[in-house]
Chains A and B, each alone.
Chain A
Amino acid sequence: MSERQSGSPFAADQEVDCRGMRCPLPIIRLANQIGEVLLGQSLAVVAEDPAARPDVAAWCRMRGHEYVGEDTAPDGVPRYVVRRLV
Chain B
Amino acid sequence: MNVVVDYVGNGVPGSATPGDQPQSGPGRNVGYFDSASAEPLHPAARDSLLAALDSGFADPLGLHRPGRNARLLLDNAREVVAACLNARPDEVVFATSGAAAVHAGVLGLLAGRARISTRLVHSAVEHSSVIQAGAWFARSFAGSTDVVPVDAWGRVSPDAVAAALQSPAGLLAVQSANGEVGTIQPIPSVLEVSGEVPLFVDFAATAGRLELPPGWSAAAAGAHQWGGPAGVGVLLVRKGSRWRPPFPADDRADPRTSGFENVPAILAAAAGLQAAVAEREERNARQRRLVERIRDRVAATVPDVEVFGDPVDRLPHLLSFSCLYVDGEALVGELDRLGFAVASGSACTASTVTPSHVLEAMGALTHGNVRVSLTRDTTVEEVDRFLDVLPGTVARLRERAGVR
Contact = CB atoms under 8 A, between A and B. Distances in A.
Interface string A43-55: 0000001110111
B363 A51 contact: no
Contacts of A23: 327-328, 346-348, 355, 366-367
Interface in A5-48: 22-25, 27-28, 31-32
Contacts of A54: 355, 359-360, 363-366
A62 interface: yes
Contacts of B327: 23-24
Interface of B (DSSP majority class): loop
A51 B304 CA distance: 18
Contacts, number: 71
Contacts of B367: 23-24, 27, 51, 55
Interface residues on A, range: 10 to 19
B368 interface: yes
B364 A58 contact: yes
A28 B325 contact: yes
A36 to B, nearest CB: 12
Given A54-B366, A59-B324, A62-B324, A22 B401 contact: no
Given A23-B347, A32-B402, 8 more contacts: A23-B327, A24-B367, A27-B324, A50-B355, A55-B355, A58-B363, A59-B365, A62-B365
Interface of B: 304, 306, 324-328, 346-348, 353-355, 359-360, 363-368, 401-404
22 contacts: A22-B348, A23-B327, A23-B366, A27-B367, A28-B325, A28-B403, A31-B403, A32-B403, A32-B404, A49-B347, A49-B353, A50-B347, A51-B347, A51-B354, A54-B359, A54-B360, A54-B363, A55-B365, A57-B363, A58-B365, A62-B306, A62-B324
